[in-house]
Amino acid sequence: MNLRKEIYLLMLIFLAVFVSGCITPFTTGPGAFYKNDVITLEDYVITETKPIPGSTTTIKFLIRNNGDKEVPRVRIDFFDTKGIQTEVECKNGNTLSDRECEYNNIESLDERSFAITFKIPDQKDIAGPASFNINYQIEYEYQGSRRITIPVIDFDKIKKPLTKFQTGQPSIGPIAVEFDPPVGSTSRRDSQIVKEYWGTKGEALEVKVNFKQVSSSSVGQVIPTKVEAGKASLKLIGMTVDGKRRCDFEGTSGTISSKFDVTVPASIVCNFRADSFAGQEKTVSIDAQFSYTYQIQRSETITINVERTRQIEKKG
């Protein structure tokens, strides 16, 4: 059998397995192709961790978008270089200074490369062995979303909804949102308290929106994330804001927006009322969307090898 026929046969076998459902080419969610750590540094290299005076050393890495959406902007800023002269290489990006690069519109699962070169001072400018930390920051913009669906009953007609409260899957990203919906009833099963969630016609439906961080600690030191006023919104379907009760959002119907800044972890609350309905039950929904700037700080230690320079001078 020649090579062409072998390849053709392998393609037929793969197609048969794929159609049978044994292979899933795209799997969404953290742990598959996508990660909540949306921006990570890959292929991290330091060309010389113990450079000699008068030489250079370079830190270089790839910036990878592990999210399922485009990242509109990423900025790398070596804000603390201890006064050492530097030069950056921002491939497919914009040079902001001799220590900063900005990259725009990084598509899902795409990468960009970054490099910064340090010009180590000459021997005469170094008083003695020097070890210092280079500090830098990764900053990027991202957004998240989630949906909930709440059954609302006419208590005069039924005592319990026929449908269930549902929460959509959280979006990919380092910041996620969860909801505390209205509790319709509680019961005890064995030693556990079981809550069921629904609303009642004519009564307020209080919903708490909880923002939390879900990234891993391996990315670096995370700066507390702020979701600014107006950057969190709720699209209301089948209900309006209860004007007599607390609501941390501007607006009364349609899409309402957060009134103030919140620093994650944080919660904001709003009370609603279901629109009028004639039957025994209806469902209402909330589509939450939010955007934010995420900041991570990292550091790298560089030690100037003065002793090695002395050894080279002696040999010379």
What CATH fold (topology level) applies to the domain 143-292?
Answer: Immunoglobulin-like (2.60.40)
Residue 16 has what pLDDT? 45
- Is residue 107 pLDDT above 90, yes or no? yes
- Is residue 21 pLDDT above 80, yes or no? no
Q: Distance (Å, rounded) from C-alpha 218 to C-alpha 239?
A: 42
Question: Which region among 43-52, 110-119, 217-226, 298-307 has the lowest average model confidence (pLDDT)?
Answer: 298-307
Max CA-CA distance within the chain?
98
Looking at residues 129-142, what average pLDDT do you find?
90
- Output the average pLDDT for the chain: 87
Which class in CATH covers the domain with range 39-141+297-315? mainly beta
Partner residues linked to 232 by β-bridges: 290
Domain ranges of the chain: 39-141+297-315, 143-292
To the nearest 10°, the Cα dihedral for 296, 258, 232, 137?
Answer: -10
The alpha carbon of residue 271 and the mean position of all alpha carbons in its chain are separated, in whole angstroms, by: 28
pLDDT tens column, 155-190: 999 999 999 999 999 999 999 999 999 998 888 777
Domains 39-141+297-315 and 143-292 belong to one CATH topology: yes
On the CB side of 131, CA atoms within 13 Å amount to 5
- Beta pairing class for 221-222 and 281-304: antiparallel
